[in-house]
Structure 1
Amino acid sequence: MSNILVVGSINMDVVASTNRHPKPGETILIDSIEFIPGGKGANAAVAAARLGANVSIVGAVGNDAFAETLRIGLVKNRIDCTHLLTINKSSGTAIITLDTNTAQNAIMVGMGANEDIKLPKSDAIFKNADVLLLQLETPIDINIEAAQRAKACNTLVILDPAPATTQIPFELLNHCDLISPNETELATLTGLPTDTLDQTINACTCLKQMGIQTIIAKMSDKGTYIHASNQSCHIPSYPIKPIDTTAAGDAFTACLATELAQQNKPYNLAAAVKHANAAGALACLKFGAQTSLPTQEELKQFIRSKTAY
């Protein structure tokens, strides 16, 4: 069984469903509002746990009404919360508008307690992990330290560079084995368009020149492009009718981590990405972030049903 360590954000998602996003200065009525546990770190942790991994999380919640719900959600999914802190401020919160016609969302995040994450002094948690998962909803200095300590323990380090940013410090990239941006994040990092496969390949080539050796570019319904020193290829997406894409990227990255944790080097990235594409697709078929994340059995059944893929 794979051991996954997540250093990342824990948020309460406030999801407003509407038939279209409002224009600047416009007020519209929404269809519904839901409060659903989320955060890229927590979502990845729950996704990996449901796929059968042993998962530990380093994170923080606040001292508000959301905190206990967020903590219980992690515990119910068998996630080790030994290093989950309670901070005297509000929990991280994401305001999400979901367009019910397109299943596309827009997200604004308030970091809250995520700003005060602390890493444990002992390296045991890094030594026991096969893979460390990082993202950018937590302080960059914490990510840098976590990546450095994980690499010193020969732990595979995967970075999901979200939210999108124009620059990631070399100190972080230099200690990441793999980076997994989506189209928007890849375009923001490189300043290049990523609307087509050829454009994505060009952007990945640019990113590799920055010193990143392995890039897994998530291209939404256009599939995934693998850009690595020993293999480069395009893996098509599974055809689906999405309901909510909020957790698709988190499900993808978590599944990629669990698959690679069970492989020996050199990694078969294509095989891992095929499973990750399936996990991402499944996460689009239900409403909400953590509520949409598939189990190991659901993933197996979905892949079996798509034998022509």
Structure 2
Amino acid sequence: MKLKQKISRILSMTLAIMLLVPAMCADAFNFTPTSGYDDDGKAIPLELYSEAVYMVNLDSGEAIVDINGEDERVPASLTKIMTAVVLLDKFKGDEQKLKDTYYSAGSEAFDELYDTGASTADIQPGEEVSCYDLLAALLIPSSCEAANIIALNVSDSITEFTDLMNEKAEKLGMENTHFSNAHGLWAQQNYSSCKDMATLCEYAISKYQVFRDIVCLPSYHMASTSYHSDGTDIYNTNLMLDSMTDYYYSYAKGIKTGTLDSAGRCLASYAEYEGTTYLIVTMGAPMD
């Protein structure tokens, strides 16, 4: 299969859930994306609806699609990718240490989340959970309480934790990014761009095997605790990983979804196809 046809196939499938902006001019792309070919072999144009899209070939570093890729936007729960990276940096990606270390937090991690509709893994105040399971809760069902528990244990306060997030963003060269919380619920000065998020994702998947292992899981069983004697089953918000849905795409490897009224639907995902790895970040897809 020709390279452009392979890229088109990856793009069309990866964007199926979230790529949703008015038709863009063809020169916004390095090639014309298609959703396939008709019986006569003619390309069927792929319609994009997200307000910002950035797709890169991780092997060559070539940006394949860049639509408003550097625009500052509300990242919603894509914020949690940086929360995960700060935790992984602290543990140097050591899976066993993550499993052997337990964190908990009191009401200070939960109070702001009540009655917000925030996503959760049903972790309770005072419940001790391994850092590995907190990482899984953060990245798979997008647990907001896991984000705050991590922040309050890594630092003395959530504000100090966001300082670490911003320091890491600066080190990675994320020029259009600033974080003001660990979970991505709407807040002033919590923004990023598709290109910056792609930089962050590339760092995480290239450096940490444990990150790659977790973000591709369609589901996970958290270990038993004093509050959940049978453990807790959690399910990935990225339906491309679930073989029981119409969105399943066998090449997809994760990474994270984000949904917020002020952000629209957002997606960071990567796929490996015939020896090549592609990463895509989209923001601002319609909520419907």
> Is this a same-fold pair by TM over 0.5?
no
Q: Output the TM-score relative to the length of structure 1.
A: 0.29
Q: Output the TM-score relative to the length of structure 2.
A: 0.31
Higher relative contact order structure (alpha carbons within 8 Å, sequence separation ≥ 6): 2
